[in-house]
Structure 1
Amino acid sequence: MKTILVPTDFSETATNALQYAAAIASQVKGKLIIATIINLPVAPVLSEVINPSLVSLEEDYNKELSRLAENLREKCNHQFEVETICQYGFLLADLNEIVKAEAVDLVVMGTKGATNLLDKLVGTNTSEYIKMATCPVLVIPSGATYTGIKNIAYASDFESEEKIVLQQLFGIAEPFQAQVAIVNVQTNYQLDIVPDKEIIQDIKKNFPDKNFRFAQVQKSKVVAGLYEFIQENPVEVLAVAIQQQGVVEDLFHSSISKQLVQQTKLPLLTLPTKPYRKSGIRSIAQKQPAIKVN
């Protein structure tokens, strides 16, 4: 894990996520990219003309990004590289393009969680993005601080294909020498399509040299079972697989991950079932799009 992307709107929540990401970058000696995507109105896009006020806005954002980057460099004694991106576009649509262009290994985003009924219905930018993300996303709750990562709990239904997801998870865990607990919550309504022993043996076969263990919890609801495990065991990060939009959503992953994003107090690591492949990398950091002014 070498390249970490942090989208920011300069809010308190985003700034907290940036501090968390900086601590990770410092530990793994990686590259940190701070990105701001200025929402582009439809009319200027169609006419290929951008209002002068947007030019001023871009200049202000670039100054703020530069300030953030320099502060991080000084605070962390230049232990890692910091780059910035400021561009016009649409946050949810453009993040994956940046991920591919910059060969990003991890996106770090902040969240306040669902604070009212409207948030629960429409979701936050973070909860919407993780459904379409093509690389792992670490969701940092407001107020969470970095204390190291030694234990990661991964929620598994012991029914889905785990190989692709676990490859990503172990890739993130290894730089921290963290142990992964593969946690299965057994409920009364859960269908045992594939025998648990078969799933366990398959994981052991595919990852013989990785640092992990299995844990099973009996509980009426999956989220309650996961919280029980977290309370009784040392856990710094909770992980879950995510089915991307455009495919039939897995009921376990879609419903559980949504609740976890909204409710968890721990950083939540979401892992796409169809991650992007690193190829044709073209850096766009510190480069801005051409602007036409009427």
Structure 2
Amino acid sequence: MKTILVPTDFSSHATNAVMYAASLAGLLNAKVILFHSYHVPVAISEYSVILMAEPAIDQNTLDELQLLEKRVKEIAGNIPVETIIREDLLLDGIRAVVKEKEVDLLVLGTLGAKGLEEVLIGSHSAYILENVDCPVLIIPACASQKKLEKIIYATDFQFNDFRYINQLIDLARPSQAQIIITHISTHKKQDEELMAWFKEIAEPNIAYPFISFKSFTGDQVLDELCHAIKFLEADMVCMATARRSFFEKILHGSLTKKMAYHCEVPLLAFHLEESKKLYPV
């Protein structure tokens, strides 16, 4: 991960995401791109299209970006920092920058004390998460820039899991963070057999010494995932999932309320083009 994009509207939660991204960039020796977009609203009448406001680039915006750039360098050291201001809708601007700058990781901040509830349902972050092509790291408002020590990779045995686990290793290696590959099942015997099988085929494909495997069993998969985060004292949780199936799970499983309890834990999402499991579960 060599290029990290962080959109900002200069709010407290967006600034927190910038600071978190700066910490990662310092560990990874990665470039940070600070992105601010603005949109000039229009009124369409029977006779004409009228601009409702002047473009929102002013000296305050430039000063805010300059201050953020300075703070990023204070945290991350001598890394490249680029600032981009663009008149565009937020998602369109992000997607354009991701493509133009070959962004490896998009970092987004959540809104308010509800943490991931604000990210996953009815917010700009939810829409962005579903519609960009690079990995997305969601930073809850109350997350701090502490050292990564334990990262959960929640698997349902996807064909591309090893690809994403190896990307995650790039993130974990500088701090020698432990990666705990976790699977949640509603059937204990099946769960144990599947995890043993997955471990057997995973170990030859993963060159990282700080990997462990842990299975959890419970009637409610999403409840059990929240329990795993708390039990393992994870600093981050990662998922590789198809976009639409991910949101269907959220809506049907009330993940928002459950994850809100763990609002200090960032969520890293890798996007699957399609769900293709290694084993029928």
Q: 1:190 to 1:110 in 2, by over 3 A?
A: farther
Alignment correspondent of 2:279:
none
Q: Is the 8 A contact 2:2 2:28 kept in 1?
A: yes
**In the alignment, structure 1 residue 19 sits paired with structure 2 residue 26:** no
Name the structure, 1 or 2, with higher relative contact order (CA <8 Å, separation 6+): 1
- Distance of 2:247 and 2:19 partners within structure 1: 33
Alignment correspondent of 1:66:
66
Alignment correspondent of 1:98:
97
Determine helix, strand or coil for the equivalent of 1:123: coil
Q: Which amino acid aligns with 1:143?
A: C
Q: Is the 8 A contact 1:242 1:253 kept in 2?
A: no
TM-score, normalised to structure 1, is 0.75
- Distance of 1:77 and 1:160 partners within structure 2: 35
Q: Is the 8 A contact 2:110 2:118 kept in 1?
A: no
- Distance of 1:261 and 1:228 partners within structure 2: 10
- Distance of 2:229 and 2:55 partners within structure 1: 47
Alpha-carbon shift at residue 179 of structure 1 (Å): 1.8
Alignment correspondent of 1:8:
8
Unaligned runs of 5+ in 1: 276-294
Determine helix, strand or coil for the equivalent of 1:17: helix
Alignment correspondent of 1:287:
none
Q: 1:190 to 1:67 in 2, by over 3 A?
A: farther
Q: Which amino acid aligns with 2:262?
A: T
Alignment correspondent of 1:37:
37
Alignment correspondent of 1:264:
262
Alignment correspondent of 1:169:
168
- Distance of 1:69 and 1:120 partners within structure 2: 25
Q: 1:262 to 1:191 in 2, by over 3 A?
A: farther
Alignment correspondent of 2:85:
86
Determine helix, strand or coil for the equivalent of 1:76: helix
Q: Which amino acid aligns with 1:17?
A: A
Q: Which stretch of the first structure deviates more once superposed, 157-166 or 23-32?
A: 157-166
Alpha-carbon shift at residue 196 of structure 1 (Å): 4.1
Q: What are the Cα deviations for residues 41-62 of structure 1, in whole angstroms up to 9, with x where unaligned?
A: 4669xxxx99594335355423
Q: 1:151 to 1:251 in 2, by over 3 A?
A: same
- Distance of 1:236 and 1:31 partners within structure 2: 23
Alpha-carbon shift at residue 161 of structure 1 (Å): 4.2
Q: 1:188 to 1:123 in 2, by over 3 A?
A: farther
TM-score, normalised to structure 2, is 0.78
Alpha-carbon shift at residue 263 of structure 1 (Å): 5.2
Alpha-carbon shift at residue 14 of structure 1 (Å): 0.5
Q: How does 1:49-198 map to 2 (within 5 A)?
A: 51=51, 53-57=53-57, 59-73=59-73, 75-76=74-75, 78-112=77-111, 123-158=122-157, 161-188=160-187, 195-198=194-197
- Distance of 1:42 and 1:241 partners within structure 2: 39
Determine helix, strand or coil for the equivalent of 2:184: strand
- Distance of 2:102 and 2:259 partners within structure 1: 25
Q: Which amino acid aligns with 1:32?
A: V
Q: What are the Cα deviations for residues 83-130 of structure 1, in whole angstroms up to 9, with x where unaligned?
A: 111001111233122122222222111113695xx9699521112211
Q: Which stretch of the first structure deviates more once superposed, 168-177 or 212-221?
A: 168-177
Alpha-carbon shift at residue 190 of structure 1 (Å): 11
Identity %: 30
Q: Which stretch of the first structure deviates more once superposed, 87-96 or 206-215?
A: 206-215
Determine helix, strand or coil for the equivalent of 2:226: helix
Alpha-carbon shift at residue 237 of structure 1 (Å): 0.8
Q: 1:67 to 1:14 in 2, by over 3 A?
A: same
Q: Is the 8 A contact 1:243 1:254 kept in 2?
A: no
- Distance of 1:2 and 1:136 partners within structure 2: 13
Q: Which amino acid aligns with 1:72?
A: V
Alignment correspondent of 2:228:
229
Determine helix, strand or coil for the equivalent of 1:146: coil
Q: 1:63 to 1:121 in 2, by over 3 A?
A: closer
Q: 1:171 to 1:63 in 2, by over 3 A?
A: same
